[in-house]
């Protein structure tokens, strides 16, 4: 038994000794296999990726931003351009932690900024410039001088020169021009595919947003060779950025300045001035307004609250927002009456102190009536009971059809449509569907609605721009124009943008004569005082109850010259009791005076050239 055990142990030892080289060999093979597989993975499978990383270790791409295109008025006056700014930045790779702390202390004392502010900026990450940290933007002249004096002692810090949007006239045409802001992280995830960088600014409102692709331009850059510690060795190539396009607008600086001036003593309102022959907007202003340059720098807490949280809503363009139009709407009801055939142009109606519809007695504004009158005199004196009878008589479909022909309850086609309110023209279908707030079938159209709609109240909302577009039809002989802020190379009198309105010539002429009488002997006669030099004006005043519960709105919409229709003006004052003839008419009068002065000067210059 002992001899067998001895043989077994000897055999086991022999086998173990015999297998050691094999195990070692297999182990070596495994190492070479793993190493080979790894090299194959790195060099063959992911070779291009690691080559790129290698290149980036010695090549740095420095992006150069494009210069944003300027915005000019119709005469070439600059309304928006770019200005140089100076920012303080550091290169963290050149500094140890202790060196950064010393530099932070020095910068804080030198530039009179808190160390905390510098530390917060230092800790922010920016994938566009990982090798650089921007600590301060928009340095003052004094800060720049102080830095330059001590620059040799501020290793790792530098002053960078950049461009920001600048608006020389500050709040002028703010809502039409719009502004730019830095893109957000959420936007960057989509815009990066279009070449945007996280440090880019993008148009937010107005023309800045509508024409962003044309204004933006394209990034350029420089390829630099650097060593292992990041020092630049040489330039390997330079691609200059492509500047954005300069855009010439249809706005006229002098008319726009007058528009801002006539609104200056109003709490809230709007002015629209356009050429009814082409749709070119010559002035468009809104009150309250704001300084566009605020958005070219970081907003303070107070500035943010005043802009975005204020009950005055300064960012809202009143020219693009919808309100009750009041009596300026009556020409629309006149079209519905005549075009339906139920109330032809020669028709006369008896106007009385009050007419009852449903459960309400709808009054004449003078509480007496005007007796038997036709369309022209009904417009001249702005009779309510005349147009109640016409509107209720033709019904909501006829009124809606007439309104649609003039472009209401629709967008105007202006480039900045994203800021535009569509408005409302109430009708049976709209009411049956719930009026936008109720359940279908529970808010039917009633006769009281029809009476209100006849005089532009309660169930009718229009924007000042929509109203100007509609009155352009009366000014230009029956064509619906497309308002625009940029002429470009577009033929604005082509059928696409200049459409013949389907109404009879007699209907159009009846309304035109009525609007002329409004100015010669009606509610807008005040426009003739001290304006003997003005060509003949036609138009309509309006005093509208605010359906949202506020005080009355004041309106005036008109055009001149009466025979040729070269300019349309709409003046609107929100929640200002007193009537259109008291508040809006004087505003429009000043606009027409400025236009006439400019027009006369242009004719003199043109005549001089011909001579």
Q: Tell me, letter by letter, the H, E, C secondary structure of 340-408.
A: HCCCCCCCCEEECCEEEECCEEEECCCCCCCEEECHHHHHHHCCHHHHHHHHHHHCHHHHHHHHHHCCC
Q: Report pLDDT digits (tens) over 440-475.
A: 989 999 999 999 999 999 999 999 999 999 999 999
pLDDT reported for residue 282: 98
Give the three-state DSSP class for 521.
Answer: helix
Q: Report residue 272 as tokens.
A: 């629209």
Joined tokens for residue 383:
């009779």
Q: Are the CB atoms for 285 and 259 separated by under 8 Å?
A: yes
**What is the C-alpha separation between 332 and 561, in angstroms, rounded?**
21
| Banded pLDDT at 89 (limits 50, 70, 90) | confident
pTM, 2 dp = 0.82
Contact between residue 173 and residue 256 where contact means Cβ atoms under 8 Å apart: yes
**What count of other Cβ atoms lies within 10 Å of the Cβ of residue 134?**
17
480-483-485 Cα angle (round to 5)? 160
Looking at residue 132, what is its pLDDT?
75
Instruction: Provide the pLDDT confidence category of residue 164 given band limits of 50, 70 and 90.
Output: confident
Q: What percent of the chain has pLDDT over 70?
A: 86
Task: State the Cα–Cα distance between residues 454 and 329, nearest whole angstrom.
Answer: 8
CB-based contact 269:289 (threshold 8 Å) = no
Give percent of the chain with pLDDT exceeding 90.
Answer: 59
Is 393 a residue whose pLDDT tops 90? Answer: yes
Mean pLDDT for 479-508 is 95
Question: Closest Cα to residue 487, out of 204, 247, 224?
Answer: 247
**Exposure string for 187-208, b = 16+ CB within 10 A, e = fewer:** ebeebeeeebbbbbbbbebbbb
| Residue 46 binned pLDDT confidence (cut-offs 50, 70, 90) | low
List the domain boundaries for the chain: 61-248, 253-289+317-610
Q: Enter the DSSP assignment of 320.
A: S
DSSP string, 180-243: EEEPPHHHHHHHGGGT--TT-EEE-SHHHHHTHHHHH-B-EEEEEEE-TT--EEEEEEEEPPBP
The 10s digit of each residue's pLDDT in 232-276 is: 666 666 667 788 899 999 999 999 999 999 999 999 999 999 999
**95 or 513, higher pLDDT:** 513
- The DSSP bridge partners found for residue 241 are none
pLDDT tens-digit readout, 272-288: 999 999 999 999 999 99
**pLDDT tens-digit map of 504-531:** 999 999 999 999 999 999 999 999 887 5
pLDDT band at 608 (very low <50, low <70, confident <90, very high): very low
Q: Residue 245 contacts by C-beta under 8 Å, 6 or more apart in sequence? A: 69, 214, 215, 217
> What per-residue confidence (pLDDT) applies to 190?
84
Q: Write down how long the chain is.
A: 611
* pLDDT attached to residue 415: 95
Which one has a higher pLDDT value, 585 or 6? 585
pLDDT at 171 over 50: yes
Looking at residue 47, its pLDDT comes to 63
The band of 611, judged by pLDDT with boundaries at 50, 70 and 90, is very low
Tokens 């140089």, residue located: 84
Domain 253-289+317-610 maps to which CATH number in 3.40.367.20, 3.40.710.10, 3.40.50.300, 3.30.1330.10? 3.40.710.10
pLDDT exceeds cutoff 90 at 327 = yes
Query: Across residues 30-40, what is the average pLDDT?
Result: 72
Q: Does the pLDDT at position 230 exceed 60?
A: no
Tokens in use for 370? 């005007």
Peptide bond into 17 cis (omega under 30): no
| Residue 140: strand, helix, or coil | coil
Note the CATH number of domain 61-248.
Answer: 3.90.1310.10
Q: In which band, very low, low, confident or very high, does the pLDDT at 298 lie, cut at 50, 70 and 90?
A: confident
Q: Which of 43-57, 66-80, 152-166, 459-473 has the lowest mean pLDDT?
A: 43-57
Region 491-513: mean pLDDT is 96
Q: Distances from the Cα of 575 to the Cαs of 323, 354, 460, 550, in angstroms?
A: 10, 25, 17, 6
DSSP 8-class letter at 462: B
**What is d(CA 201, CA 179) in angstroms, rounded to the nearest whole number?**
10
**DSSP secondary structure, 546-590, as one string:** -TTSSSPEEEEEEEESTTT--EEEEEEETT-TT-HHHHHHHHHHH
Query: How high is the pLDDT of residue 61?
Result: 61
Q: For residue 534, what pLDDT band results from cuts at 50, 70 and 90?
A: confident
Q: Give the whole-angstrom CA distance, residue 483 versus residue 466.
A: 9
Which DSSP letter does residue 294 get?
Answer: G
Instruction: Report the alpha-carbon distance of residue 219 to residue 197 in Å, rounded.
Output: 9
User: What is the average pLDDT score of the chain?
Assistant: 87
| Whether residue 322 has pLDDT greater than 70 | yes
Q: CB under 8 Å to 589, separation ≥6 — which residues?
A: 526, 527, 531
Please list the residues that pair with 363 across neighbouring strands: 354
Give the CA angle between residues 54, 58, 62 to the nearest 5°: 115
Peptide bond before residue 561 is cis, with ω within 30 degrees of 0: yes
Res. 195: pLDDT tops 70: yes
pLDDT of residue 125: 64
| 61-248 and 253-289+317-610 have identical folds | no
- pLDDT tens digits, one per residue of 124-145: 766 656 667 888 877 888 988 9
Task: Say which residue the tokens 């003052």 belong to.
Answer: 140
Question: What's the CA gap between 434 and 430, in Å, rounded?
Answer: 7
Q: Of 331, 329, 375, which is closest to residue 351 (Cα–Cα)?
A: 375
Output the pLDDT for position 599.
86
């Amino acid at each position: 038994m002992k001899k067998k055990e001895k043989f077994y142990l000897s055999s086991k030892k022999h086998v173990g000794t015999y297998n050691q080289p094999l195990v070692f060999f297999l182990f070596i093979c495994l190492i070479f296999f793993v190493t080979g597989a790894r090299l194959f993975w790195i060099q063959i499978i992911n070779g291009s990726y690691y080559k790129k990383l290698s290149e980036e270790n010695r090549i740095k791409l420095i992006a150069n931003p494009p210069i944003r295109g300027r915005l000019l008025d119709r005469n070439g006056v600059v309304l928006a351009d770019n200005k140089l700014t100076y920012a303080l930045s550091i290169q963290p790779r050149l500094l140890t932690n202790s060196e950064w702390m010393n530099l932070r202390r020095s910068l804080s004392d030198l530039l009179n900024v808190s160390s905390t502010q510098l530390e917060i900026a230092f800790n922010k990450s920016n994938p566009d410039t990982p090798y650089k940290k921007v600590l301060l933007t928009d340095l003052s002249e004094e800060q720049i001088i102080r830095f330059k004096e001590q620059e040799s002692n501020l290793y790792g810090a530098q002053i960078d020169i950049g461009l920001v949007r600048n608006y020389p006239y500050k709040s002028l045409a703010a809502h039409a021009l719009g502004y730019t802001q830095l893109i957000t992280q959420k936007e960057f995830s989509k815009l990066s595919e279009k070449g945007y960088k996280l440090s880019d600014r993008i148009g937010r409102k107005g023309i800045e947003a509508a024409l962003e692709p044309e204004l933006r331009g394209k990034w350029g850059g420089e390829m630099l060779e650097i060593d292992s510690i990041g020092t630049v060795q040489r330039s390997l190539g330079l691609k200059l950025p492509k500047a954005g396009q300069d855009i010439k607008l249809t706005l006229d600086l002098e008319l726009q300045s007058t528009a801002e001036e006539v609104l200056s003593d109003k709490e809230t309102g709007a002015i629209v001035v356009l050429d009814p022959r082409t749709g070119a907007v010559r002035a468009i202003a809104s009150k309250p307004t704001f300084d566009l340059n605020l958005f070219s720098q970081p907003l303070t807490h107070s500035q943010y609250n005043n802009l975005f949280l204020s009950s005055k809503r300064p960012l809202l363009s009143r020219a693009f927002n919808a309100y009750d139009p009041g009596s300026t709407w009556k020409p629309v009801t006149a079209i519905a009456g005549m075009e339906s055939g139920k109330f032809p142009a020669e028709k006369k109606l008896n106007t009385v102190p009050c007419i009852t519809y449903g459960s309400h007695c709808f009054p004449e504004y003078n509480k007496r009536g005007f007796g038997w009158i036709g369309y022209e005199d009904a417009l001249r004196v702005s009779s309510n009971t005349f147009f109640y009878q016409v509107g209720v008589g033709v019904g909501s479909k006829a009124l809606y059809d007439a309104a649609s022909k003039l472009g209401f309850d629709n967008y105007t086609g202006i480039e900045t449509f994203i800021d535009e309110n569509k408005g409302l023209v109430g009708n049976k279908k709209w009411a049956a569907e719930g009026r936008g707030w109720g359940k279908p079938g529970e808010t039917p159209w009633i006769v009281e609605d029809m009476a209100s709609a006849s005089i532009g109240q309660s169930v009718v909302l229009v924007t000042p721009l929509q109203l100007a577009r509609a009155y352009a039809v009366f000014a230009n002989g029956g064509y619906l124009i497309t308002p625009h802020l940029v002429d470009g190379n577009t033929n604005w009198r082509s059928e696409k943008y200049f459409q013949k309105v389907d109404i009879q010539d007699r209907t159009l002429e009846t309304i035109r004569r009525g609007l002329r009488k409004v100015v010669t002997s009606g509610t807008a006669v005040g426009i003739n005082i001290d304006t003997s030099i003005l060509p003949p004006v036609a138009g309509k005043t309006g005093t509208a109850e605010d359906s949202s519960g506020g005080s009355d709105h004041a309106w005036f919409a008109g055009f001149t010259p009466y025979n040729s229709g070269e300019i349309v003006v709409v003046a609107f004052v929100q929640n200002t009791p007193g009537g259109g003839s008291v508040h809006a008419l004087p505003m429009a009068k000043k606009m027409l005076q400025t236009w006439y002065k400019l027009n006369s000067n242009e004719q003199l210059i043109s005549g001089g050239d011909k001579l």
